Amino acid sequence: MKIISINAGSSSLKFSLFNMDNQECIASGYFERVGINGSFYTIKYNGEKIKEEIEMPNHTVAVEVLLDRLISLGIISSLDEIDGVGHRLVHGADKYNKSVIITDEVVEDLRKFSDLAPLHNPANILGVEAVKKALPNVPMVGVFDTAFHQTMDKTRFIYPVPYEWYTKYGVRKYGFHGTSHCYVSKQVEKILGKKDYKAIICHIGSGGSISAVMNGKCIDTTMGFTPLPGIMMGTRSGDIDPSIIPFVMEKENKTITEVMNDLNKNSGFLGISQEFSDCRDIEDGVKAGNELCKLALDKYVQTIVNYIATYYVELEGADMICFTAGVGENGVQVREMVMNKLKVLGVEIDAEANKTRGEVKQITLPTSKIACYIIPTNEELMIAQDTFDLIK
């Protein structure tokens, strides 16, 4: 059975095609600048990488090009080989706590929830509608970024603000990166060989979130009503005092939109260093003696450690701390700095093992009270797996 995982952005479309008989990724690709001049795509398969500039005025055309190239490149022989399509859907509010077959009702709900994710849900809808037009008889599944975190209890997802904000407008913690946290939690279960466990999952990349997971269910997570709060990130501030917002608006004569843009796109690594949003560039800056890069890296690590410590208490211990996503899987220095600050919890780093990048690996000594692991995430496979399970 072949399943396509789709992640549609406002001007992009990413895909992965899986053979679910062995969970092999047959092909993957990225269609960029959709609806913008200079649109192009790249497709990887059989160790090759194909790139072509082609006009794609909308997502419908992008999907048509994708399906045409799958056939013309010999990746599949006909569209009949495609048994299902899984879509990454960013926001399901508190209605969707698991993946679902996409119906007209689901699409309408996505529209209703668009004010909760104005940059993402409308783009997700474009992807769904484009695939539906091209493959009208193929079942589609929606995999929500917020679903995994819907197991949080009310004391953790409610904010201490006027309660009617929640009842009227849905103001509460939702959490994001749920598909990644879900995938990694399933790997934790396999590694430990048991369903009853406590894990702290650190999805740290350009964006970042940490979750406390007990027996496969999310107890708490760092992102909130939006993906802005929690740990410091590449360009996002993470947690700040909200009083800063009106203060800066007055001082800088900025609108709320402008300040929120600063918090989302000009903060984090970029804000402190004033130069770099990528952790690798920050580390290079530290080596070159850049004091602001050192400050940014130290602050980043501290925000991660603070949440790990909090979740350790919430879970009343932890069997495993997991590092995943770009920095988590490849950031040797960040992992080392984090684990060194966790010595008080009995974490004993294996310095040689910690040099590993991008593969499952225990990076603590056997005597460590908490096992720390690198566990590469695979959101596309998680989407395909949920799609497979629902349509089979």
Res. 10: pLDDT tops 80:
no
In the chain, domain spans: 2-144, 193-379
d(C-alpha 251, C-alpha 184), whole Å: 44
Q: Classify domain 193-379 at the CATH superfamily level.
A: ATPase, nucleotide binding domain (3.30.420.40)
Each residue's pLDDT tens digit, 261-300 = 999 999 999 999 999 999 999 999 999 999 999 999 999 9
Read off the amino acid at residue 266.
Answer: N
Name the average pLDDT for the chain.
95
Question: What pLDDT does residue 157 have?
Answer: 98
Rounded to 5 degrees, φ, ψ at 117 are -145, 70
Question: What pLDDT does residue 199 have?
Answer: 98
Say which of 145, 319, 350, 386 is annotated catalytic: 145
Mean pLDDT of the region 132-155: 95
Res. 117: pLDDT tops 90:
no
Each residue's pLDDT tens digit, 51-86 = 999 999 989 999 999 999 999 999 999 999 999 999
Distance between start and end Cα atoms, the chain: 9
Confidence of residue 115 (pLDDT cuts 50, 70, 90): confident
Enclosing H/E stretch for 97? none
Mean pLDDT of the region 146-151: 96
Res. 12: pLDDT tops 90:
no
Give the full edge-to-edge strand order of the sheet including 100-101: 48-53, 40-45, 24-32, 12-19, 2-8, 82-89, 140-144, 100-101
Each residue's pLDDT tens digit, 308-317 = 999 999 999 9
Q: Classify domain 2-144 at the CATH superfamily level.
A: ATPase, nucleotide binding domain (3.30.420.40)
Res. 245: pLDDT tops 80:
yes
Identical fold between 2-144 and 193-379: yes
Rounded to two decimals, the pTM is 0.92
d(C-alpha 69, C-alpha 13), whole Å: 14
Question: What pLDDT does residue 9 have?
Answer: 82
Res. 119: pLDDT tops 80:
no
Do 214 and 234 form a contact (C-beta atoms < 8 A)? no
Res. 104: pLDDT tops 80:
yes
d(C-alpha 51, C-alpha 64), whole Å: 16
Q: What six digits make up the tokens of 156? A: 């953790």
Question: What pLDDT does residue 141 have?
Answer: 97
Annotated catalytic residue 145? yes
CA Rg, the chain, in Å? 21
Q: What is the CA angle 43-184-182, rounded to 5?
A: 90
Question: What pLDDT does residue 295 have?
Answer: 98
Res. 116: pLDDT tops 90:
no
Residue 8 CA to chain centroid, in angstroms?
14
Question: What pLDDT does residue 74 have?
Answer: 93
Mean pLDDT of the region 1-17: 91
d(C-alpha 292, C-alpha 125), whole Å: 41
Each residue's pLDDT tens digit, 339-358 = 999 999 999 999 999 999 99
Using a pLDDT cut of 90, give the percent of the chain over it: 90
